[in-house]
Structure 1
Amino acid sequence: MGILSPITSFLERLGGKTIEVTEKPLKKIPRGASVQERLRTLKKLQEEVQKEKTEEEREREIEEVLEWRKEELQKPFSERLADAVLRHFHGPVRSLTNSLKGLDEDLYRASILMPKEKYVALMLGVAIFAGIFGFLFAYLLYMPLDTSLLVALLGFMGGFMYMRYYPKMVWKRRVVEVERALPYALRHMGSLLGAGVGIAEAMLSVAKADYGALSEEFDLMIRDMRTGSSFEDALSKFEEKMGSENVSRVVKQILRAVKFGGNLSDILYKMAEDFSFEYRMKLVEYVQKVNGISFIYMFLTIVMPTMFVIGILAGSVMAQQLIMPPETLAIILLFAFPSLSLIIVNMIKRGEPR
Structure 2
Amino acid sequence: MGIIDAFSNFLERLGGKTIEVAEKPLTRLPEGKSVSERLKILKELQKEIETEQEETRREKELETVIEWRKQEISEPFSERLAGAMLRYFRRPVEGLTKSLKGLDEDLYRASILMPKDRYVALMLAVSIFSGIFLVLVAYLLYQPIEISLLVGFLGFIGGFFYMRYYPKMVWKRRVAEVERALPYALRHMAALLSAGVGISEALLSVAKADYGVISEEFDLVVRDMKTGASFEDALSRFDEKLGSENVSRVVKQILRAVKFGGDLSDILYKLAEDFSFEYRMKLVEYVQKVNGVAFIYMFLTIVMPTMFIVGILAGSVMAQALIIPIETLALVMLMAFPAISLIIINMIKKAEPR
Q: Which residue of 1 aligns with 2:29?
A: 28
Task: Tell me the amino acid that sits aligned with residue 158 of structure 1.
Answer: G
Q: Aligned ranges for residues 6-155 of structure 1 at < 5 Å?
A: 24=25, 26=27, 28=29, 31-33=32-34, 35=36, 39-155=39-155
Distance 2:24 2:57 in 1: 25
* Shift, 1:57, TM fit: 1.0
* Shift, 1:288, TM fit: 0.5
* Shift, 1:228, TM fit: 0.7
Deviation per residue, 1:36-78 (Å, 9 max, x gap): x555444333333222211111111111111111111111111
Distance 2:257 2:234 in 1: 16
Q: Which residue of 1 aligns with 2:332?
A: 332
Task: Tell me the amino acid that sits aligned with residue 173 of structure 2.
Answer: R
For this pair of structures, how many residues does the alignment match? Answer: 334
Q: Which residue of 2 aligns with 1:10?
A: none
Does 2:306 match 1:306? yes
Shift in alpha-carbon separation, 1:293–1:40, aligned structure 2, 3 A: same
* Shift, 1:266, TM fit: 1.0
Q: Which residue of 2 aligns with 1:14?
A: none
Answer yes or no: is the 8 Å Cα contact 1:94–1:117 preserved in 2: yes
Deviation per residue, 1:167-189 (Å, 9 max, x gap): 00000000000000111111111
Deviation per residue, 1:179-232 (Å, 9 max, x gap): 001111111111111111111111111111111000111110000011111111
- Over the matched positions of the two proteins, sequence identity in percent amounts to 73
RMSD: 1.8
TM-score by length of 2: 0.90
Q: Which residue of 2 aligns with 1:282?
A: 282
Does 2:152 match 1:176? no
Answer yes or no: is the 8 Å Cα contact 1:183–1:272 preserved in 2: yes
Q: Which residue of 2 aligns with 1:345?
A: 345
Answer yes or no: is the 8 Å Cα contact 2:29–2:38 preserved in 1: no
Distance 2:229 2:348 in 1: 41
Unaligned runs of 5+ in 1: 1-18
Q: Which residue of 2 aligns with 1:6?
A: none
* Shift, 1:133, TM fit: 1.1
For residue 335 of structure 1, give the secondary structure of its aligned residue in structure 2: helix
Shift in alpha-carbon separation, 1:202–1:306, aligned structure 2, 3 A: same
Q: Aligned ranges for residues 143-222 of structure 1 at < 5 Å?
A: 143-222=143-222
TM-score by length of 1: 0.90
For residue 241 of structure 1, give the secondary structure of its aligned residue in structure 2: helix
For residue 113 of structure 1, give the secondary structure of its aligned residue in structure 2: coil
Task: Tell me the amino acid that sits aligned with residue 25 of structure 2.
Answer: K
Distance 2:66 2:286 in 1: 55
Distance 2:24 2:221 in 1: 65
* Shift, 1:34, TM fit: 6.0
Distance 1:228 1:244 in 2: 25
Q: Aligned ranges for residues 234-245 of structure 1 at < 5 Å?
A: 234-245=234-245
Distance 2:264 2:282 in 1: 27
For residue 114 of structure 2, give the secondary structure of its aligned residue in structure 1: coil
* Shift, 1:31, TM fit: 4.6
Task: Tell me the amino acid that sits aligned with residue 100 of structure 2.
Answer: L
Shift in alpha-carbon separation, 1:254–1:318, aligned structure 2, 3 A: same
Distance 1:228 1:131 in 2: 48
Shift in alpha-carbon separation, 1:27–1:128, aligned structure 2, 3 A: farther
* Shift, 1:29, TM fit: 6.5
Q: Which residue of 2 aligns with 1:321?
A: 321
Shift in alpha-carbon separation, 1:25–1:248, aligned structure 2, 3 A: closer
Moved more, 287-296 or 87-96: 87-96
Task: Tell me the amino acid that sits aligned with residue 332 of structure 2.
Answer: I
For residue 112 of structure 2, give the secondary structure of its aligned residue in structure 1: coil
Unaligned runs of 5+ in 2: 1-18
Task: Tell me the amino acid that sits aligned with residue 53 of structure 1.
Answer: Q
Answer yes or no: is the 8 Å Cα contact 1:82–1:119 preserved in 2: yes
Task: Tell me the amino acid that sits aligned with residue 353 of structure 1.
Answer: P
Distance 2:27 2:303 in 1: 90
Distance 1:269 1:23 in 2: 76
Answer yes or no: is the 8 Å Cα contact 1:29–1:42 preserved in 2: no
Deviation per residue, 1:286-314 (Å, 9 max, x gap): 10000010000011111100110111111
